[in-house]
Structure 1
Amino acid sequence: MNRRTSIGILLSAGALAVIIAAAAALWGPAKKEGADNMTIAIGQTMQNPLVLEQEWEDYGIGDPFVLRHDGKYYLYCSTKDWRVGVKAWSSDDLVTWRYEGLVTEEPLTEGAYAPEVVYWNGSFYMYTSPAGKGHYVLQSDKPTGPFVVKTENLGLTIDGSVFIDDDGKWLFTHAESGGIMAAPMTDPFTIEPGKKLNTSLGHWTEGSMIVKRNGRYFITYTGNHVFSKGYRVNYGVSREAPDGVYAIPENNPLLISTADGFNGLGHSSTVMGPDMDSYYLVYHDLVGRSAEGPPVRRLNIDRLAFNGDKLSVLGPTHGTPVQAPAPPAFADIPEYAPPADKWEQVGDGRGWLSRSAAEERHTAEFNFVLREEAGDGAREEATLDMIFAYENEGDYRAARLDEASMTLSLVEVEDGIEKVEASGPLPDGMDLTKLHTVRAESDGDSVKLYWDGLLRIERKGLQARGGKIGYAWNEGANPRLRYTAFSNEAGGSSDRKAIKPVPGSMEAVHGTPIGRPEERSGITPDGSDALVLAHKGDGVSFPVHVARSGDYLLSASVSNASAGSLLAIEAGGKTVKRKLEPSLFADDGEWTKVSLGLFELEAGTRRITVRLAGGGGEVALRYVEAAEAAAVPDNAIVEPSEVGIDKRFGGDAGWTDYDVSFDLTLNEETIDETSVLLRTTNESEFPDQVADSFMGYQLTFRNGRVVLYRVSYENVEEVESGILAIAPGETKRVVAKLRGAALSVFADGGEEPILTWTDPNAFLHGRVGKRGLSEAWTVSPLTISSFK
């Protein structure tokens, strides 16, 4: 007969919650700097790129994948061409890595591409495409191998990735020209016919991975060619299904840099941080050339941030220290004899409680084996309570595993009375003699229970409570207690505390609120939440780490309804007021990115603060960006010649507002076109990638018209056009004026523009360029003038 699992004794009321030392180190002592601006201690740091022992010589770490299992991280990477085996490293914190050796030496793993490992029900499954010639599945009972080949060649190009949904269904995604493919799986070894998703980088697209967060599916994917400086990561989001239609948000690319010494960023994987709330993007960059020709690849890790349907990277960071992943507030591997300094035994020897207590908002994780051998019917069916929010013997919560019914239940004990709040079946075929994980998230008025990473129970209307964590079991169980931890974060709360790298972007809802601002959902075009400043003095303050001293352009995405309001921006020891004039806003859409001005910032940790200073109306704020700025010269002559032949670039990517003047001559009648490029960044030239490999504006002249395009690699949009009649042999003097989000074009000294447009999601800085090789056109060198 089953007996109710009980804690058994009342613990002393004097038990104290642990004050987290890591949090104290993070925030540190604050001091005034300028107008209510405080510096912040960054605490433990890390710095990209990460250099590990025993990397593949003259190759590095490419296509990195990180598995989190039993509180530890395991890194796998592609194998150097013509070498056999797959290397792995392990880490406790994502910062310090230990080499684990070759986890397989199967002969077919020669040149193994992009190995990814999934743990399920006691086994580790590796998916890899050796030398890019189709996929194989290898299996092991340990993350460090040895992995043994279990299938024939399954085909399906390269870069296979497995996603397991909350309902236990498996999905396999892989690379393809023109978009990622997705195929259902009937078991870890069998892949059914698939379909192409609308996740494309306009050419060859690879390196996909899906994660689920707050009911949304986020897919990341990479392209186009691994050796291109413009190799980049995009993402899509879906609320419907992992193989459904994805929305492609406007803040793509998610990850890109074509700078010398830091470019070719891609083939990423996503992993949960040690605090069980944060997430990190693991990717490689390219540097130099190996002895065999291709560039060497280096490992990088940057923080991700989630805001509704929006995903962003706090970075990319390179060559500068950034905040390291935060540890949990409490962590231990109790096994069968937990240490007395961390645990107190309860329940007649069949239970343990932590001596540390979590706060109301927290996440607790329990890794365990219910018993080493399957039951033989001679003893009682096992039950195991994973306790959290423990206040005393009569007040606590538990995730209860019941072997007889193969269910997981959320149990509430209040004033000694037990109530099952919710219950559901385990995924099919669970073997309870293998290691499994239960994670409990307590956040606001909801509690979520995850089984092996799958959300199985969500109970809304249950107020979060703090308390100790632990275990209790009946006589039928003999649990092996593995990694057990809690952090005082849940539901993405750690995103608000993260120190934001500058240059970079900061979500308004991820800052520290000042006054009485209101978070508001459902008002932005990308499904993110916004912060509404409705009262004078309302604002938001961001803890930031500035990579390099210099001038920075601050900008913000605000609702068009905010026109007329006055903002006060505090940064770099000064306060600047900026009136949101109606002329700053785009006619298209309901939001516009507006320039807030240039600020001189010193390297290190500090704060950037935005407040409502007046104007009579409210300001709805989505995000604030900080970009490195450079002085624009007066009457400088630029003949673009860098990067490519058809597309040539010159100037400085930090230029902000400027005028570009040039003579445009039509030498002969033609259907050809020529273009001038404005505010361009992240330029790339490579044969196997999209033709429009830059970000910025393209002003194209053809057939008596001038056409303005907004270009972001595969996303090219004609946004405005005008008339510019020009006869063969005639020369026109053209001036393009860039002021904040507005761009205007004038010809032959005219006072009225022949074209004008305000970009709601503007490129606010960048250099200049030319495009086209037609001899029918001549474009003079470009004259750059500053605007003050």
Structure 2
Amino acid sequence: MLRISKKWIASVCILFALFLPASGAFAYTNPMPLPSEWSNYGTGDPFVLKYNGMFYLYSSTGQYQTGVKCWSSTDSVNWTYAGLCSTDAVTYQAYAPEVVYWNGTFYMYTSPDGNGHYVLTSSSPTGPFTAVTGNLGHSIDGSVFIDDNASWYFYSAGGDGIHAAPMSSPTSIGSDVVLGGTQISGQWTEAPTLIKRNGVYNLTETGNHVLSTGYRVNLATNTTGPLQPFTPSNTNPILLKTEGPQVGLGHSSNFIGPDLDTYYTVYHNLASVDPAGYPIRHVNFDAIGWNGDKMAVYGPSNWSVPNPALPNFEDRFQRTSTGAGYSNLNGGTWGISNNFLYQNSKGSTALYIQYENTFTTASDYTAEYNMKEVSKGTLDPRIGAIYGYVDANNYGVAVLNGNTKRLETNMVVGGVWGTQVNTSLPAGFDITKLHTIRIEKSGSTYKYFVDGLLKETKISTGLGAGKVGYMSSDDEANFGYLAVSNKVNGSGIFDVYKPIPGTIQAVHYNSGGEGVGYHDTTSGNAGGKYIRNDNVDIRDNPEGGENIGWNSTGEWYKYNVSVKANGSYNLGLRYATTYAGTQVRVWLDSTDVTGIVTLPSTGGWDNWQTYTIKGLNLTSGNHTLKFETVTGEFDFYTLQFNEADNSSFTKTDNFATSFSSDWNWSGGSWAIESGEASINNVGKRTMGSTGWSDYTVESDIKGIDALNSGIMVRVQNPAQGGAGNDPGLGTDFYQGYLAVISGTSVSLGKQNYNWTTLATTPGTYNTNTWYHMKVVVSGNNIKVYVGDMTNPKIDYTDNSNPFITGKVGLRSHFAHTHFDNFSVTH
């Protein structure tokens, strides 16, 4: 790319301020056992619905039980048991119930005991739900997606990938197609959830088996349509943890959190397996950050982290009068009853407006409105939302017109109305049922959603910050939950406390602007990607999303972080530069935790590499991390923090009578035979700490009946496959590198629950012959020696998102193999 130094760049900049609510005062910890869970079953396959400002959570039914339990919450963290929302006979061992609200009816989709799907309906999110269909089939884990044109689609699990079908109505499901690109590791794939954001269809799915610690969540995307093939994300898996107290993560669904802007993923972990072989699971939540169109899950976390942010303003109308916080324009008869604001004057085409007068939005914001018609007049009945209200001559309206079945938007600026835009609403739209209007304002762009469907996008500079409220004309109406967040298009993630260990997207620095969230020495955005609307230079990254660029001397960025525990961490910095001698430094609050670190040149602005900065001593809890450019210039993309053990030692095992106590994970039929470690068929075994980084591993290797075995390095998240923890099904289930000897070659591969060959050197290697292998891993470089300990067979540098820490191990793939004289020097 053509690149100009920042000191030559000057352009007009746009500054904006974000109102910052208090955060971090309250916290939650994953996993989260809920009140009145199923005994000896917990809460599995969680799904969250939002209706009129309240979150509702549903989960699978306990073994040999009938009924679906649900919970409610105003903040998505503190849950109240709402009882059995269904006791219908078809809910016997109901799998993965999901609920969709549409036009006044709540539709529940569930697969009792995994034997096909039924649809149940209710007039309330807490039931009672009763069956309205027979068995519609379609495997398990049914999930509904409604596109912006109000077309419905049904997704379900399959052995060949996710299945999808069009729906002609909420209770009718068409024929399946198999979605290309959705099968995980050639195995059973389940728990689909589809969300559409900025024109991109994001499908999350879970693979392997619910009883395996290797249960995990993947992402696939497309821009072509709900029934078209998908492309797996290059960040897969997006949720995975196989060791420790929080394992078996999966069956996720995704929803927008209480701040109206930040997405969260809700999923379960495998807490234990009961004596009958059934899973006991609990609920977990973690934030999703969007780096452009790239989805990044900030998790898994299993320590105390701050609660999700609330809106900057919300009103649930839980009182008997409007109070002094509201002002009126043009009259009408307003009041509050049964937690609804109402207006019941008809017979006039005047716009009766009630706006909240104590809160003014920022220039960019997201607003949510809920409303329904009670009875209409004969002139021109309409109800709607008010936004950007300054005075009687300056405000905007988003109106639901029940007679014409359309959304009508307009603005009055300086007392002059603009051109009204009319957009058709779905067939059968019933204005007497509660509907949600959502308005997103980002710069001069307004997006209008009705019931979650994007109905209109327009550009207007006529209005900015203002107040919000409700309006009716010739209509008696009830108005529900009203909320505003000074966050839009994913900006809520900026101030979320990012978990450490974990990976932080560089562009998700704190809000607050110059001198608060960042310091930039030149005006304007040299990269031209205005996802932050400030002076930080942001450009497209070839690996997806955007990165911060043109960092020069004295500039810095701050990130809210939540550190799991006191200890040492390694930081993998993903960066690019042509400058030799660029220097950086990292601060935790006011403490320098790295000293000055010199970065080598990567040889090009799109030659991305990961450089590991070792031994950051961090303290647990919530902090502000500052990433500073001391001198030079570079671009950076992500900050990957891993728990670290950088101590020096040597460990050996000659397998005299047993495996040493340093081995801490085993899969497959391992044994000691004649003072040698033996594995017959498929298996892997690991030693040490996931915090180890640079080391030398050696072992003697002998193939008995075949030779396809070797040494694993930087191993994370080993697992086996299927319900029975089958080492064959889980042969690819780990993250790390493998140096392997076969009959015809020495190879180095990268395993991320999916094998990729990195380098191969041909040779002849015989069974029943000992070969000494040595693997040296240092930074991103891996050297593999066989026989000759001076000249490596393979010398490979991995610059494609390398693993920076991990355990060591041994592995055999469909071969009876012996190992001896094992050692690791760290």
TM-score of the aligned structures, taking structure 1 as reference length: 0.89
The corresponding residue for 2:190 is 206
CA distance, structure 2, for counterparts of residue 649 and residue 159 of structure 1:
34
Q: Deviations over 1:426-481 (max 9, x none)?
A: 1221000000000111112211110001111111354761111012221x211101
2:686 counterpart letter in structure 1: F
Residues 674-707 of structure 1 deviation map (CA, whole Å, 9 limit, x = unaligned): 1211111111123455431111111110124111
CA shift in 2, pair 1:682/1:19, >3 Å: closer
Q: 1:184 maps to what in 2?
A: 166
Comparing 442-451 with 341-350, which one deviates more in the overlay? 341-350
In the other structure, the counterpart of 2:432 is: 433
CA contact (8 A) 1:309 1:526 kept: no
Distance in 1 of aligned mates of 2:152 and 2:297: 27
Q: Deviations over 1:364-401 (max 9, x none)?
A: 111011x224x5xx622312241111111111112122
Residue 662 (structure 1) shift: 2.0
Task: Choose which of 561, 568, 576 in structure 1 pairs with 2:585.
Answer: 568
| 1:274 to partner: Cα distance | 0.9
Q: How does 1:307-322 map to 2 (within 5 A)?
A: 307-318=291-302, 320-322=303-305
Q: Equivalents in 1 of 2:401, 2:767: separation in Å?
A: 85
Identity of aligned residues (%): 33
Task: Give runs of aligned pairs for residues 133-282 of structure 1, distance below 5 A.
Answer: 133-197=115-179, 198-202=181-185, 203-282=187-266
Q: 1 CA distance for matches of 2:216 and 2:815? A: 34
Aligned equivalent of 1:543: 560
d(CA) in 1 for partners of 2:719 and 2:748?
21
CA contact (8 A) 1:58 1:291 kept: no
Structure 2: how far apart are the matches of 1:509 and 1:263? Answer: 29
Q: CA deviation at 1:224?
A: 1.0
Shift of 1:545: 1.2
Superposed CA deviations along residues 568-591 of structure 1, whole A, max 9, x for unmatched, are 333453343333324x7899x832
CA contact (8 A) 2:594 2:615 kept: no
Aligned partner of 1:479 in structure 2 is 477
Matched residues in 1 for 2:594 and 2:208: separation?
Answer: 43
Counterpart residue number, 1:761: 801
User: What SS class does the counterpart of residue 133 from structure 1 fall into?
Assistant: coil
Native 8 Å contact 2:706 2:816 kept in 1: no
Q: Is the 8 A contact 1:533 1:539 kept in 2?
A: no
The 8 Å contact of residues 552 and 601 in structure 1, kept in 2 or not, is answered as yes
> How many angstroms does 1:142 deviate by?
0.7
Which one of the candidate residues 22, 26, 43 is aligned to 1:25? Answer: 22
Letter in 2 for 1:537: G
**Which one-letter code corresponds to 1:314 in the other structure?**
Y
Closer, same or farther in 2 for the Cα pair 1:154/1:296, shift >3 Å? same
Q: Cα offset for 1:187? A: 0.6
Partner of 1:495, secondary structure, is helix
Please say if residues 561 and 590 of structure 1, whose CA atoms lie closer than 8 Å, have aligned partners that are also in contact. no
Partners of 1:211 and 1:219 within 8 A in 2: yes
The alpha-carbon distance between structure 1 residues 777 and 97, as it changes in their structure 2 partners (threshold 3 A), is closer
In 1, are the aligned partners of 2:742 and 2:765 still within 8 Å (CA)? Answer: no
Deviates most, 74-83 or 309-318: 309-318
- Aligned partner of residue 494 in structure 2, secondary structure: helix
Q: Is the 8 A contact 1:520 1:531 kept in 2?
A: no
Aligned to 2:635: 620
| Partner residue of 1:741 out of 780, 795, 808 | 780
How is 1:297-696 mapped onto 2 (pairs within 5 angstroms)? 297-318=281-302, 320-334=303-317, 338-349=321-332, 350-355=352-357, 356-369=359-372, 371-373=373-375, 375=376, 379-420=378-419, 422-462=421-461, 465-474=464-473, 476-511=474-509, 512-516=517-521, 523-559=540-576, 561=578, 565-571=582-588, 573-582=592-601, 590-615=607-632, 618-638=633-653, 640=663, 642-645=665-668, 646-665=683-702, 671-688=706-723, 689-696=729-736
**Partner Cα separation in structure 2 for residue 325 and residue 566 of structure 1:** 35
CA distance in 2, matches of 1:504, 1:776: 38
In 2, Cα distance between equivalents of 1:221 and 1:118:
19
Between stretches 213-222 and 414-423, larger displacement belongs to 414-423
CA offset at residue 653 of structure 1? 1.1
Report the equivalent of 2:671.
none
Deviates more, 1:435-444 or 1:737-746: 737-746
**Structure 1 vs Structure 2 CA RMSD:** 2.4
The verdict on how the C-alpha distance between 1:743 and 1:145 changes in structure 2, with shifts beyond 3 A counting, is same
Quick one: structure 1 residues 506 and 486, their matched pair in 2 at CA, closer, same or farther if it must change by over 3 Å?
same
Corresponding residue SS for 1:56: coil
In structure 2, the CA distance between the partners of 1:704 and 1:94, relative to structure 1 (3 Å rule), is same
**SS class of match (1:478):** strand
1:686 counterpart letter in structure 2? G
State how many pairs are aligned: 739
**Match of residue 785 from structure 1:** 825
- The CA deviation at 1:780 is 2.0
Contact 1:586/1:592 (<8 A) preserved: no
Distance (Å, rounded) in 1 between the aligned partners of 2:32 and 2:702: 51
2:673 matched residue in structure 1: none
Aligned residue in 2 for 1:32:
none
Q: Shift in Å at residue 501 of structure 1? A: 1.2
Q: Which moved more, 1:639-648 or 1:260-269?
A: 639-648
- Aligned to 1:496, the other structure's residue is in SS state helix
Distance in structure 2 (CA, Å) of the matches to 1:233 and 1:464? 42
Once residues 201 and 187 of structure 1 are traced to their aligned partners in structure 2, the CA distance between those partners, rounded to angstroms, is 30
Residue deviations 1:201-246 (CA, integer Å, cap 9, x gap): 1201001101112221111100110010000111112222222232
Q: Are the counterparts in 1 of residues 413 and 463 from structure 2 also a CA contact under 8 Å? A: no
Match of 1:722 in 2: 761
2:493 alignment partner, SS class = helix
Q: Does the Cα contact within 8 Å between 2:774 and 2:789 map onto a contact in 1?
A: no
Q: Structure 1 329/664 Cα, relative in aligned 2: closer, same or farther at 3 Å?
A: same
CA contact (8 A) 1:422 1:459 kept: no
SS at match of 1:263: coil
Q: What is the TM-score when the length of structure 2 is the normalising length? A: 0.85
> Structure 1 residue 69: deviation in Å?
0.7
Q: Which deviates more, 505-514 or 557-566?
A: 557-566
Distance 2:707 2:135 in 1: 49
Mapped partners of 2:420, 2:461: distance in 1 = 9
Q: State the one-letter code of the partner of 2:506.
A: A
